[in-house]
Amino acid sequence: MERNNLYPIFLKAKSLNVLIVGGGNVAEEKLTFLLKSSPDAKVLMVSPMFREGTIELAKKGCVTLVKDVYQQKYLQGRHMVVATTEFPEVNVQVWKDCRAQAKLVNVADNPPYCDFYMGGIVTKGNVKVAISTNGKSPTTAKRLRQFFEDVIPENVDDLVKNLNEYRKTIKGNFEEKVEQLNEFTKSLVEK
């Protein structure tokens, strides 16, 4: 059976500089999901044209739009890059340039040219669940996201905050604290 070997991480997008190359539907979709998850993300978008929706989205976040074709100079100071143009040769050039500069890159809808995938995300207050299908089926990730949005209760954030307060009151070493929290939260997963 094939296995998903991706390593999930949660990035502090506010601390990173993101470049999106392209201004079409896919670029707007990537920007939408990035800002939905991290409204304070710092994003530079480069494209000869931008959709009306992208221009509106950019006003709501820390997004800079530059009307230009992709040039390597736009990688300067960027930590991660998403290439979404309709021109495969441009996307591959972005990938090559990122490889040469050790920058993380995602060429949309082209898994061999991706260091990372942007999966389905469910957010309920401080709780965030990320879903990956190893780049095989975005539709499955979308359906799983919808499922988790339904089954994770809206008040889960209250539980997180209360457990954080409880954790502060527990005495003992690390192992003892973990044991007490495990005991306290066991009922959450009991069937």
The model's pLDDT over 59-77, given as tens digits with 9 standing for 90+, comes to 998 999 999 999 999 999 9
**CATH 3.90.1200.10 applies to domain 13-117:** no
The model's pLDDT over 128-164, given as tens digits with 9 standing for 90+, comes to 899 988 878 888 888 999 999 998 888 888 888 877 7
DSSP-assigned beta bridge partners for residue 10 = none
Query: Positive or negative, the Cα torsion across 5, 142, 63, 40?
Result: negative
CA pair distance 46, 58, nearest whole angstrom = 12
Domain range annotation of the chain: 13-117, 119-152, 156-188
Question: What is the pTM (predicted TM-score) of this model?
Answer: 0.85
Q: Is 33:58 a contact under the CB 8 Å cutoff?
A: no
